[in-house]
Amino acid sequence: MRLPRPSRRPVSRLLRGYRPLRPGPDSSDQRADRSRLRSRMFALVLACLTLMTLDHHPGAGSPLEPAREAMGSVFGPVEAGTSSVVRPVTALGAWFTSTRDLHRDVAALRSENSRLRAQQAASQYQRNQLAEFQGLTSAADTLGRALVPARVVAYGPAQSFSRTVTIDAGSRAGVQPDQTVLDDDGLVGRVLRVTPTTATVLLIVDTESVVGGRVGASMKVGFLEGRGGLGDHGTLDLQLVDQSEAPAKGDTIVTWGSQGGAPYVSGVPIGRVTAVYASLRESSQRAVISPFVDFAALDLVGVVVPSGTHSDRGVIEADGRLQ
Amino acid sequence: MRSVRVAVAAALVVVALVLQVAVFPHVAWEGIVPDFCLLVVVAAALVRGPAFAATLGFGAGLLLDLAPPADHVVGRWALALVVVGYVAGLMRQDTRTPVTTVIATVAASSFVGTSVYALTGLVLGDAVAGSGDLVRVLLVSLLWNVLLTPLVLPGVMRLLTRLEPAGAR
């Protein structure tokens, strides 16, 4: 039964603050309710601030890292399970592509194919030469590396302003923190932390991600920083170490590589230069890179692990062998 | 009864989190998904008032901060959702909440939640987007939340009303 509300003089809801659960003539009850709410709010906000202070520098040294790991081992399998249930449904969209769309796709692909073939014919010789050199130089790099296949099972919401995903391969599959993650188009990111069955990956488009990159045409090196977007807005900024140099539009950027291949192995394609901005005053150049990977539609990825890593699944060796 | 209430609220938050990170990214616009956790907190606020909602917001935010693939400073979403729970709780009415109030509360909460989260990021020097991105994320998530309100809020609110302790109203 609902009690009739006692008449009250109109006070703004925000000024009055909290309306007690039990409206009644007893004003001391109201006051007690209000003070209880105040102390609870105080405690909650204080708890949040304490947590933020403790975790101010996230990473291996944070006292909350064990909590993250525990939560990861509980939630990782839940996310992987949900994702495997949802995947067939999301794949359904492809079935509804109409014949007309397919015809248009075939025409577009055919013209692109002939264009590429012409291009290839023109540069066959250079290509062969390059392939030989590359084979020589990269043999040492590619030898001793293998790929652990994994699927992206969860995305961090854009509202969190950090670009991270969960993959369904963890320490049992041989994945360790600071390993390179890539897909068939190019560089995806690096592993931040692992649980037995899942791993969290920092995408290169995250604002806190910095990747050493090399301009394919001039071999100049620089640093790529993410802008925090996905899809069309998912671009990277390239700043070359030699600030007087500017990459040309259309140049391909590959990874420079870190010592020991962690966190990034060398020679993985990252993206293409789409625009170059020159700041005359600071005499520096900033190039915008559009990544090859479509970060809004990540699915199958590979984690670069040392060859011979013990894994709970098939590991793709450098020579294409499945182990 | 109290333990049942806590269990149901926890289950709602877990389902919300899984929807947010594992299901809705497939239909997300630029990675912006509906804030299901925020919607659950707002529903709790409209049914049970600010004290319960702020506590639930703390739990839901902590989950968002810790569950993979989160990688920001722990406590940021917790604080944002505590504030959301409190502010939305002030909109609670003794009679049946009108639809317009629900929608307005969701919109305001969405704005407040994302803003508080972004502000703490600014203060802590954590990952923050540029102002243009921030406005886009704010608007799109607000739109998502308002669109999802008719699908999510009535059910959750009815469930929480049914579990309300007798005589509380």
Q: What is the pLDDT of residue B103?
A: 92
Average pLDDT over residues A195-199: 91
Distance (Å, whole) CA B18 – CA A155: 10
Among B111, B46, B125, smallest CA distance to B85 is for B46
Q: What is the pLDDT of residue B131?
A: 65
Assign B44 a pLDDT band (cuts: 50, 70, 90): very high
Q: A142 with A47, same domain?
A: no
User: Which is higher by pLDDT, A7 or B64?
Assistant: B64
User: Which is higher by pLDDT, A162 or A15?
Assistant: A162
β-strands A300-306, A210-215 pairing: unpaired
* Phi, psi values for residue A235, rounded to 5°: -115, 165
**Helices B50-66 & B36-48, crossing angle to 10 degrees?**
160
Distance (Å, whole) CA A51 – CA A125: 61
| CB proximity under 8 Å: A 267-306 to B | 295-296
pLDDT digits (tens, 9 = 90+) for B116-169: 998 888 888 776 666 667 888 889 999 999 999 999 999 999 998 888 765 444
Cα B66 to Cα A205, A252, B10, distances in angstroms = 21, 37, 15
Taking one residue from A and the other from B, the number of pairs with CB-CB distance under 8 angstroms is 207
Q: What is the pLDDT of residue A228?
A: 77
Average pLDDT, chain B: 87
Instruction: Decide if A42 is inside a domain.
Output: yes
Q: What is the pLDDT of residue A20?
A: 47
Q: What is the pLDDT of residue A117?
A: 77
pLDDT digits (tens, 9 = 90+) for B49-73: 899 999 999 999 999 999 888 888 8
Contacts of A205 in chain B (CB under 8 A): none
Average pLDDT over residues A285-307: 85
Q: What is the pLDDT of residue A139?
A: 44
Q: Using the beta-carbon criterion (under 8 Å), do B31 and A230 form an inter-chain contact?
A: yes
Nearest-Cα residue of chain A relative to residue B166: A1
Instruction: Decide if A1 is inside a domain.
Output: no
Contacts of B64 in chain A (CB under 8 A): 160
Contact (Cβ atoms closer than 8 angstroms) between residue A279 and residue A151: no
* Residue A278 tokens, joined: 């020159």
B12 pLDDT higher than 60: yes
**Testing the interface with B: which of A161, A165, A203 to mutate, by most B Cβ within 10 A?**
A161
Q: What is the pLDDT of residue A148?
A: 87
Query: Poorest-confidence range of A55-59, A95-99, A204-208?
Result: A95-99
H or E segment and range at residue A52:
helix A27-54
pLDDT digits (tens, 9 = 90+) for A87-128: 877 777 666 656 677 778 888 888 888 878 777 666 666 666
Average pLDDT over residues A35-59: 87
User: Which is higher by pLDDT, B76 or A33?
Assistant: B76
Q: What is the pLDDT of residue A66?
A: 87
Q: A108 with A234, same domain?
A: yes
Among B20, B31, B22, smallest CA distance to B136 is for B31
User: Which is higher by pLDDT, B112 or A63?
Assistant: B112
Q: A18 with A153, same domain?
A: no
Could you say which DSSP state residue B27 is in? G
A166 pLDDT higher than 60: yes
Burial group, residue A77, by CB count within 10 angstroms (0-12, 13-18, 19+): middle
Contact (Cβ atoms closer than 8 angstroms) between residue B26 and residue A84: no
Task: For CA atoms B50, B56, B57, B58, give the dihedral sign.
Answer: positive
A304 pLDDT higher than 50: yes
User: How many structural domains are present in chain B?
Assistant: 1
Number of residues assigned to chain A? 323
Average pLDDT over residues A128-152: 65
Q: A233 with A144, same domain?
A: yes
User: How many structural domains are present in chain A?
Assistant: 2
Q: Using the beta-carbon criterion (under 8 Å), do B69 and A156 form an inter-chain contact?
A: yes
Contacts of A153 in chain B (CB under 8 A): 22
**Testing the interface with B: which of A90, A159, A293 to mutate, by most B Cβ within 10 A?**
A159
Q: A126 with A194, same domain?
A: yes
Instruction: Decide if A323 is inside a domain.
Output: no
pTM: 0.77
Q: A277 with A216, same domain?
A: yes
Instruction: Decide if B168 is inside a domain.
Output: no
Average pLDDT over residues B20-49: 88
Q: A152 with A300, same domain?
A: yes
Q: CB-based contact (8 Å) between A163 and chain B?
A: yes
Nearest-Cα residue of chain B relative to residue A24: B169
Q: What is the pLDDT of residue A17?
A: 47
- Find the domain containing B62 and state its range: 2-162
Q: What is the pLDDT of residue B169?
A: 46
B3 pLDDT higher than 60: yes
pLDDT digits (tens, 9 = 90+) for B65-109: 998 888 888 999 999 999 999 999 988 887 777 888 899 999 999
Please identify which residue in the block is written with the tokens 């900024």.
Answer: A237
- Find the domain containing A31 and state its range: 13-54
Q: A34 with A100, same domain?
A: no
Q: A139 with A262, same domain?
A: yes
Assign A5 a pLDDT band (cuts: 50, 70, 90): low
CATH number, domain of A243, equals 2.40.10.340
Cα A110 to Cα A94, A101, A103, A113, distances in angstroms = 21, 14, 11, 5
**Following CA atoms A144, A186, A126, A132 in sequence, which dihedral angle do they give, to the nearest 10 degrees?**
10
CATH number, domain of B137, equals 1.10.1760.20
Instruction: Decide if B112 is inside a domain.
Output: yes
H or E segment and range at residue A304:
strand A300-306
Q: What is the pLDDT of residue A157?
A: 84
Report the range out of A115-119, A232-236, A308-312, B38-42 with the highest average pLDDT: B38-42
A15 pLDDT higher than 50: no
Distance (Å, whole) CA A177 – CA A161: 22
Instruction: Decide if B60 is inside a domain.
Output: yes
